[in-house]
Amino acid sequence: MSFSRRQFVIGSSALALAAPATVGRAQSDAIKFASILDLSGGLDIYGAPMAETTKLAIEDINATGGLLGREVELTMYDAQSTIQFYTQYATQAAAGDRAHTVHAGITSASREAIRPTLSRFQTLYFYNVQYEGGVCDYNNFCTGSTPAQTVAKVVPYAMEKWGKKVYIVAADYNYGQITAQWMQKFVAENGGETLDVEFFPLDVTNFGPTINKIQTAKPDFVISALVGGSHVSFYRQYAAAGMNAEIPIASTTFGVGNEQKLISAEEGNGILASYGYFEGADNPVNTAFLERLKAKLGDDAPVMNELAIRSYEGAMLWAEAVKAAGTPDRGPVIEALRSGLSYDGPSGAVTIDPQTNHCNMNVYIGELQDQEWTIVESYDNQPPADTALVCDLNANPNQSTFLFENGLAAAGID
């Protein structure tokens, strides 16, 4: 495998920033944890906070003696928002580093690029991102929220608040396309009408023609599943056209890259979103976590969102499973995770559902005011009901598939 100078420098600096992994120990004695995230490129608005909380998780684990008397060694790769690097680094982590677990991926495309590789090498894989649902893979644990947990909450809430006519804008890849179909389902189930659906590649920055279409269509609100740094332009251009004062926005993605800090308060006020975590989650674990993060990073501490918190909680779920299994080896750790393992984290209790290898979790609706989210509604212990429609790893543990089309069909979505 060849590395450019840029790749090597990023990899080396990431290792230097990782928790002290092998101090006083032979490297072979360490339990190896690999992270592959977008720390540069158009998706770094998501990857940078996820990297910080991953590092904090490993530091917290090692500060209490590591696992089974062994340090946890973190290797962190920057995929640079490039799918090719995901496949390259997944192979390196599994076959070269011989990592005990890999926590990786942000977009669904990156997940699907590396999931078969990690399955083939029998390397335990965690995907710690809210996504469209449908992964059914014994080797893969998905800790992020799915449409049945969040889209199903924010759509009826927004319709009751604003009205029944909806215009959908979404990213043009798996997540956006499939989530848009779930949005249409929940709009219809709640007596509403979807006026139009538009999809945009991740590098699109000009939304003028779409904003004109929205003005003409006159929906009661827009619901957005736009993704990445380029798509932040939509919210700026929408406000510049005066539309945010006329037609409000709900979203299933805005905020997980801390986009609320990239636009002005006036541009963002009133946006609704639903996730498995907001900083305002009222529990003592969250309070202590935020205080510790602030003490560590000071003014550089990023605002916490679902992706960042799930990266921390995913690492902690894995650590609890290693302790329960008495070994970092894949098979026993998977058994421990699938025993109904639960972790009380900043978002609340997160519990592995053994039917799907997804999580039951608390879900929140937040409203944005002055660049800060206020939780306006919460729902306890929500199951991944969409994925459960098509996935039963208890009955068929040999599955290693992405069943989004089956899930849509099972939910009655054409």
- Calpha distance 31→38 (Å, rounded): 23
Dig out the tokens for 1 from the structure.
């495998």
pTM recorded for the entire structure: 0.89
Considering only residues 102 and 17, tell me which one the structure prediction assigns the higher pLDDT. Answer: 102
Order of strands, sheet of 31-37, starting from the edge strand that comes earlier in the sequence: 72-78, 31-37, 101-104, 124-127, 140-142
Query: Under DSSP, is residue 28 helix (H, G, I), strand (E, B) or coil?
Result: helix
Listed by start position, the domains of the chain span: 5-146+281-361+382-410, 151-275
**Amino acid letter, residue 113:** A
Q: What is the pLDDT of residue 8?
A: 26
Q: What is the pLDDT of residue 19?
A: 34
What superfamily would CATH give domain 151-275?
A: Response regulator (3.40.50.2300)
Q: What is the pLDDT of residue 146?
A: 96
Dmax (CA) for the chain in angstroms is 67
Dig out the tokens for 359 from the structure.
């999580």
Mean pLDDT of the chain: 90
How large is the average pLDDT for residues 210-236? 96
Considering only residues 26 and 71, tell me which one the structure prediction assigns the higher pLDDT. Answer: 71
Report residue 5's pLDDT band, with 50, 70 and 90 as the boundaries. very low
How large is the average pLDDT for residues 54-65? 96
Q: What is the pLDDT of residue 250?
A: 98
- Calpha distance 327→365 (Å, rounded): 38
- Judged against a pLDDT cut of 80, whether residue 227 lies above it is answered with yes
Q: What is the pLDDT of residue 228?
A: 87
The domain 5-146+281-361+382-410 having CATH identifier 3.40.190.10: the answer here is no
How large is the average pLDDT for residues 367-393? 96
- Calpha distance 100→230 (Å, rounded): 35
- Judged against a pLDDT cut of 70, whether residue 80 lies above it is answered with yes
Q: What is the pLDDT of residue 42?
A: 85
Considering only residues 403 and 286, tell me which one the structure prediction assigns the higher pLDDT. Answer: 286
Helices (H), 137-272: 151-162, 174-189, 208-217, 232-240, 265-268
- Calpha distance 153→364 (Å, rounded): 9
How large is the average pLDDT for residues 106-118? 94
Q: What is the pLDDT of residue 399?
A: 86
Lowest-confidence range among 24-28, 131-135, 182-186, 334-338? 24-28
Contact 132, 174 (CB under 8 A): yes
Q: What is the pLDDT of residue 410?
A: 52
- Calpha distance 147→158 (Å, rounded): 15
Closest C-alpha among 362, 279, 353 to residue 317: 353
Contact 95, 87 (CB under 8 A): no
- Judged against a pLDDT cut of 60, whether residue 4 lies above it is answered with no
Query: Under DSSP, is residue 388 helix (H, G, I), strand (E, B) or coil?
Result: helix
Considering only residues 11 and 135, tell me which one the structure prediction assigns the higher pLDDT. Answer: 135
Residues 130, 405, 337, 125: what is their CA dihedral angle, to the nearest 10 degrees?
A: -70
Contact 333, 318 (CB under 8 A): yes
Q: What is the pLDDT of residues 305-351, one digit of tens each?
A: 999 999 999 999 999 999 999 999 999 999 999 999 999 999 999 99
- Calpha distance 324→340 (Å, rounded): 12
Dig out the tokens for 372 from the structure.
């800060």
How large is the average pLDDT for residues 78-85? 96
Strand ranges for 52-156 from DSSP E: 72-78, 101-104, 124-127, 135-137, 140-142
Q: What is the pLDDT of residue 9?
A: 28
* Cα dist from 159 to 134, 181, 196, 222, 385, whole Å: 26, 17, 16, 10, 22
- Judged against a pLDDT cut of 60, whether residue 16 lies above it is answered with no
Considering only residues 1 and 249, tell me which one the structure prediction assigns the higher pLDDT. Answer: 249
Q: What are phi and psi of 208, to 5 degrees?
A: -55, -50
Considering only residues 146 and 1, tell me which one the structure prediction assigns the higher pLDDT. Answer: 146
- Judged against a pLDDT cut of 70, whether residue 409 lies above it is answered with no
Q: What are phi and psi of 74, to 5 degrees?
A: -95, 125
Query: Under DSSP, is residue 150 helix (H, G, I), strand (E, B) or coil?
Result: coil
Closest C-alpha among 263, 261, 256 to residue 224: 256
- Judged against a pLDDT cut of 90, whether residue 10 lies above it is answered with no
- Judged against a pLDDT cut of 80, whether residue 260 lies above it is answered with yes
Name the β-bridge partners of 114: none
Q: What is the pLDDT of residue 389?
A: 92
Q: What is the pLDDT of residue 22?
A: 31
Report residue 176's pLDDT band, with 50, 70 and 90 as the boundaries. very high
CB count in 10 Å sphere of residue 220 = 18
Closest C-alpha among 204, 213, 194, 198 to residue 234: 204
Contact 277, 305 (CB under 8 A): yes
Contact 259, 14 (CB under 8 A): no
Q: What is the pLDDT of residue 11?
A: 35
Percent of the chain with pLDDT strictly greater than 90: 85
Environment class of 406 (CB within 10 Å of its CB; exposed 0-12, middle 13-18, buried 19+):
middle
Contact 117, 51 (CB under 8 A): no
CB count in 10 Å sphere of residue 379 = 15
